[in-house]
Every structure is written in C-alpha cells, then in structure tokens.
Amino acid sequence: MKTRITELFGIEHPIIQGGMHFVGFAEMAAAVSNAGGLGIITGLTQRTPDDLAAEIARCRAMTDKPFGVNLTFLPSLATPDYPGYIKAIIDGGVKAVETAGNNPAKWLPAMKEAGIKVIHKCTSVRHSLKAESIGCDAVSVDGFECGGHPGEDDVPNFILLPRAAEELTIPFVASGGVANGKQLVAALAMGAEGINMGTRFIATVEAPVHDNVKQAILNASELDTRLVMRPLRNTERVLNNPAVERLLAKEKELGAAIKFEDIIEEVAGVYPKIMKDGTMEAGAWSCGMVVGLIHDIPTCKDLIDGIMAEAHAIITGRLARFAA
C-alpha cells in the first residue's frame, strides 16, 4: 500500500510506532522497521545525547531499514540538552524525527538542513495547522482516546481526523486507539495516510519491557484507563491502578491548588520501575483505551502483516461490495 506517508519515509507499510518512554529502545524500533513500518527510538529515554548516539548505532546494527527518533518537549523537572540530542540524531544519520509536546519551530532549521523529515504529533487541528505553517513534513493526529498526553480539547478521532482532512495540506496519520486493519481502513477513509500506534506495540514479542506490562495490557478493557494531571493542564491517559487512584484522590482533595510536587510520588521516575522491573503499581504509566482491542502478543511482523492483510481484505471485499 503506497501512501504519502510511505513515500515520505521510504517505508513499506503506512504504520508508525510512536515514541514511548522506556519502551522505544533500539530493539522496539528495529523490530517495527524490519517489519516494514517506521520504528521510533524515544530520544529522552536516553539520559544523555551520547547515550542516544549509542542507541541509534545499536538500532542501525539491527536494521538496514529507515527508523526515526522521538523528541518530546513536555514540562520536566530539568530541561534536557535538546541541541545535544539533535546533534546526535543528525550525526547518527537518522532521517525521520517525531516531535511532540510543544512547537518544534526552534529546532526545525537544523533538522531540515540535514534532510530530516519531521512528523509533529498534535492533539488538535489548530496545532496541526501551526505545524504545517512552520514547515513540518507531516502530522500525527492524536485523538482523545490515545495513550499518553491527549491535550485538553477532548476531541476523539472520529471527529478529529475528518476535521484535520478538511484543513491540512501536508499528510497526516491517525494516532490513538488504533490496533487493527479495520481501523487502518477507517483512518484512510477519514483522510489519513496511515496510522501511528503506541499501546498496541507494547504487547508484542519484541517490545523490550517486563512481561507484567504485556499481561496488564492483555488483562485490561477499554474501561480501565484514567485521565490524570488534568488540573495541571498536563493531562495524561494512564492505566488505572492503586497509585492512579491515590493520585486522583489527591486531585479531588486539593482541587485547583494542586501542584506537581503533590503528585510527584505517583508520576516521577516511575517508568523504569514499571517497564524494566514490572512493578506494576509503582505509579501512573501511559496507556490507551485501545487496550480493549488487544488480546494477543504477536511479533511486530505478524502484527503488521495481520493489519495489512485485514485492511486489504476489507477494501477488496466488504467495502467493494458496497460500491457495486
């Protein structure tokens, strides 16, 4: 299937693996890229630009296909060395970058000059248009159902994607809530040129996370995510657990007076404990409503091949019948 996204990134299938903190290591990105999608290393999971350079080199040793790096600009306790990370990306010969969290305008000229294609992740039409106007090559339109940070507008993809199609000229992919071929076809029908998946890729053989995380995804339903940090305007969709319930109780109790320090125990430094050690109740970790659609742990190749086969069967079978 050729789309503007497969052409832009030089990939076989219009499927991207979104950056994921403490999941997007070289193993994850290489497995997705080897399966014909676009794998993404999560830049800030690497503690320093040198570590990112080493991770890029590790990924390159595992795949000769294109892969990308995610750079996230979100509120954090200490500002990361973004110029250093960008230098590591450029020097590492990476040609695709997924930016997220904040306007990447400041960093675009250096990346463009190095021939890097930039896909910016946005949760609204107005941010998507901004990304287009500053020169991003594509947008990942992240609906309210997504795992991670859905923004503050709460517009789900059934509305957000066709709205993006009304306004955007650059290509976009559907992100948030996607796990199967039916949804790829629906995304294409609504104007997207492909899909971006996060949560679905965690429940794969190659995802370099503790088995407890994969089992938690299999055991969860679409009713099991919660939105945290809304009072801080840093909303995150996470899988419910006792730490999340504690956090939500604090939000209720403290109301508008809540500060980041009040919830630091439930959110700071949680990812290595969850993803590496499998201590599932250590805190709040991003997870999408799409868990309700995840019932197995395939290899990335079987997952991607299955999605493409299902999409093809729907387009040539069920949908073709409606056009007859």
Ligand X SMILES: Cc1cc2nc3c(=O)[nH]c(=O)nc-3n(C[C@H](O)[C@H](O)[C@H](O)COP(=O)(O)O)c2cc1C
Instruction: Examine residue 72 and tell whether it contacts ligand X (CB under 6 A).
Output: yes
Minimum separation from the CB atom of position 31 to ligand X (A): 16
Write b or e for each residue in 62-88: b if 16 or more Cβ atoms lie within 10 A of its Cβ, otherwise e: bbebbbbbbbbbeeeeeebebeebbbb
What do you get for the CA distance between the two ends of the chain, in Å? 22
C-alpha 198 chain-centroid distance = 4
Q: CA 179, 190, 108, 48: dihedral to nearest 10 degrees?
A: -10
β-sheet bridge partners, residue 195: 15, 174
Please work out the total of residues on this chain that contact ligand X, with binding judged by CB under 6 A. Answer: 28
Instruction: Examine residue 146 and tell whether it contacts ligand X (CB under 6 A).
Output: yes
Instruction: Examine residue 235 and tell whether it contacts ligand X (CB under 6 A).
Output: no
Kindly tell me which of 152 and 253 has the beta carbon lying closer to ligand X.
152
Kindly tell me which of 34 and 46 has the beta carbon lying closer to ligand X.
46
Kindly tell me which of 253 and 281 has the beta carbon lying closer to ligand X.
281
| Tokens 């409606």 -> residue | 322
Number of Cβ within a 10 Å radius of residue 8: 19
Instruction: Examine residue 70 and tell whether it contacts ligand X (CB under 6 A).
Output: yes
Tokens for 321, please give them: 């019948």
Minimum separation from the CB atom of position 292 to ligand X (A): 10
- Nearest residue to ligand X by CB is 198
Instruction: Examine residue 175 and tell whether it contacts ligand X (CB under 6 A).
Output: yes
User: Based on C-alpha coordinates, what's the Rg of the chain?
Assistant: 19
- The one-letter code for the residue type at 184 is L
Which range in 86-94, 111-119, 284-292, 300-308 contacts ligand X by CB under 6 A? Answer: 284-292
Which range in 57-65, 164-172, 193-201, 218-226 contacts ligand X by CB under 6 A? Answer: 193-201
- The one-letter code for the residue type at 37 is G
Instruction: Examine residue 290 and tell whether it contacts ligand X (CB under 6 A).
Output: yes
CA–CA gap between residue 22 and residue 41 (Å, rounded): 10
Q: Cβ contacts of residue 66 below 8 Å, gap of 6+?
A: 9, 10, 11, 33, 38, 95, 96
Which range in 75-83, 129-137, 197-205, 301-309 contacts ligand X by CB under 6 A? Answer: 197-205
Instruction: Examine residue 147 and tell whether it contacts ligand X (CB under 6 A).
Output: yes
Instruction: Examine residue 184 and tell whether it contacts ligand X (CB under 6 A).
Output: no
β-sheet bridge partners, residue 67: 39
Among 9, 67, 107, 285, binds ligand X (CB under 6 A): 285
Instruction: Examine residue 225 and tell whether it contacts ligand X (CB under 6 A).
Output: no
Kindly tell me which of 23 and 131 has the beta carbon lying closer to ligand X.
23
Minimum separation from the CB atom of position 98 to ligand X (A): 7
Instruction: Examine residue 217 and tell whether it contacts ligand X (CB under 6 A).
Output: no
Residues in the chain: 324
Residues lying near ligand X in the complex (CB under 6 A) are found at 18-21, 23, 42, 70, 72, 100, 121, 142, 146-148, 175-178, 196-200, 285-288, 290
